């Protein structure tokens, strides 16, 4: 898999959601208290071989340590911060570093700082603001956003509105190591979440997301192979014949999704959940997922578990093809933009150690029918004070 595509990095973001800072608004009596959390996440995907992109090795690995801090500065105001650093190892980076223009350069890191506040105005109203700065080898990003939550007087339902924007600058380092200056990308996202208690043992959440993107949206060092020559290419897997040209995608994208999940306690120790999500964008890609989960207290108030299965399937983007014989206006061979189905199996254990400490361990394995199987793991430690 070639890193730096917006879909690939989105997958990594999903991995990190479990440790993203934020949380619920501070409640009365919490002033001066908070928590510190350390997380270590791991991601790996294999090369798809002939089932994925037959011309390039798509293997990659990401290791991310992160530190998260929450502090209630008053009874109703909470501040949070998150520091993260990614070590990235991928075939695409190794390939790029061999070219003279990029020799000695390091494309194997990503660092980010996020922070924000949440304020509970009263028992029914809360709002939050956040900021984000990140940098990597060929990419800098600035993000800003906020949200507002309205809770019903009885506490059994709420609605949350969120809006954020990310403003990115990219160095256009191509597949052959040549740098073609810089370009920009803007992403704006609006989201609505609705929460409802149905009865004492059942509750649900549902909502929608709309994202608008504009600017340079392809991955600068992704290549497309044009198979109009019999000459072997030493830069391709197995010296396959073909010549490489740049990936080209439209400079605007509209994508939307609707989602929902419902959870029900079926016993004193067990709860079952079913979730689903439907996705579509203006590039022709559509996807749908179904995800059942089982939560269980293995030891009351001490050790709990979560098992999950997820099925996901998507159609290919209009610009995607496994093989090109002519130079199309819009073109990509990024496997994440092709048609595939995936089955995910995963679990998590959370251990409460004393009154103030908590550990969690999670692991997921994803089987994709294009051969790009993935592993995601995480260890986390959280201490309240």
**Residue 14: pLDDT above 60?**
no
More confident residue, 109 or 68: 68
Please give the radius of gyration of the chain, using alpha carbons only, rounded to the nearest integer.
22
Integer CA distances (angstroms), 32 to 22, 35, 79, 291, in order: 17, 10, 11, 38
Report the pLDDT value the prediction gives residue 59, as an integer from 0 to 100: 81
**Among the listed residues 192, 144, 150, 148, the one whose alpha carbon sits nearest the alpha carbon of residue 167:** 144
The confidence band for 80, taking pLDDT boundaries of 50, 70 and 90, is: very high
Chain Cα centroid distance, residue 37: 20
How many CB atoms neighbour CB 6 within 10 A? 17
The confidence band for 240, taking pLDDT boundaries of 50, 70 and 90, is: confident
**Residue 159: pLDDT above 80?**
yes
Report the pLDDT value the prediction gives residue 97, as an integer from 0 to 100: 60
* pLDDT tens string 311-343: 999 999 999 999 999 999 999 999 999 999 999
Q: Which CATH class is domain 6-384?
A: mainly beta
Sign of CA dihedral 223, 229, 235, 239: positive
The confidence band for 56, taking pLDDT boundaries of 50, 70 and 90, is: confident
**Residue 120: pLDDT above 70?**
yes
Give the pTM. 0.86
The confidence band for 117, taking pLDDT boundaries of 50, 70 and 90, is: very high
**Residue 47: pLDDT above 80?**
no
- The mean per-residue pLDDT over the stretch 282-298 comes to 98
The answer to whether 347 and 307 are in contact (CB under 8 A) is: yes
**Residue 18: pLDDT above 80?**
no
**Cβ-Cβ contacts under 8 Å for 236 (sequence gap 6 or more):** 55, 56, 225, 242, 244
User: At which residue do the structure tokens 């994508």 appear?
Assistant: 255
């Amino acid at each position: 898999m070639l890193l730096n595509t917006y879909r690939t990095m989105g997958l990594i973001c999903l991995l990190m959601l479990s440790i993203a800072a934020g949380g619920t608004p501070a409640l009365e009596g919490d002033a001066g208290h908070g928590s510190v959390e350390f997380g270590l996440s791991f991601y790996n995907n294999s090369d798809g071989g002939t089932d994925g992109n037959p011309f390039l090795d798509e293997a990659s690995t990401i290791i991310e340590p992160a530190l998260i801090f929450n502090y209630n500065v008053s009874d109703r105001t909470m501040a949070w911060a998150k520091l993260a650093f990614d070590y990235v190892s991928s075939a695409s980076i190794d390939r790029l570093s061999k070219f003279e223009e990029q020799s000695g350069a390091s494309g194997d890191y990503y660092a980010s700082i996020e922070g924000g506040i949440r304020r509970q105005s009263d028992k029914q109203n809360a709002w939050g603001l956040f900021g984000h700065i990140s940098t990597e080898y060929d990419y800098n990003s600035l993000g800003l956003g906020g949200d507002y939550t309205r809770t019903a007087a009885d506490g059994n339902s709420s609605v949350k509105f969120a809006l954020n924007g990310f403003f990115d600058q990219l160095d256009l380092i191509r597949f052959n190591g040549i740098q073609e200056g810089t370009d920009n990308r803007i992403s704006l996202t609006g989201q609505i979440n609705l929460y409802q208690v149905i009865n004492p043992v059942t509750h649900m959440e549902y909502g929608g997301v709309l994202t608008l993107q504009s600017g340079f949206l392809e991955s600068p060092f992704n290549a497309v192979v044009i198979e109009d020559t019999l000459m072997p290419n030493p830069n391709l897997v197995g010296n396959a014949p073909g010549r490489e040209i740049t990936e080209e995608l439209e400079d605007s994208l509209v994508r939307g999704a609707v989602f929902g999940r419902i959870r029900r306690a079926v016993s004193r120790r067990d709860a079952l959940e079913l979730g689903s999500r439907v996705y579509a964008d203006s590039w022709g890609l559509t996807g749908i997922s179904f995800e059942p989960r089982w939560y269980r207290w293995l030891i009351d108030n001490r050790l709990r578990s979560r098992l999950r299965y997820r099925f996901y399937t998507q159609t290919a983007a209009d610009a995607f093809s496994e093989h090109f014989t002519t130079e199309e206006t819009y073109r990509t061979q990024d496997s994440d933009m092709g048609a595939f189905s995936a089955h995910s199996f995963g679990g998590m254990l959370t251990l409460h150690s004393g009154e103030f400490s908590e550990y969690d361990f999670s692991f997921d394995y994803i089987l994709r029918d294009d051969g790009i199987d993935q592993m995601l793991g995480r260890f986390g430690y959280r201490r309240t004070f």
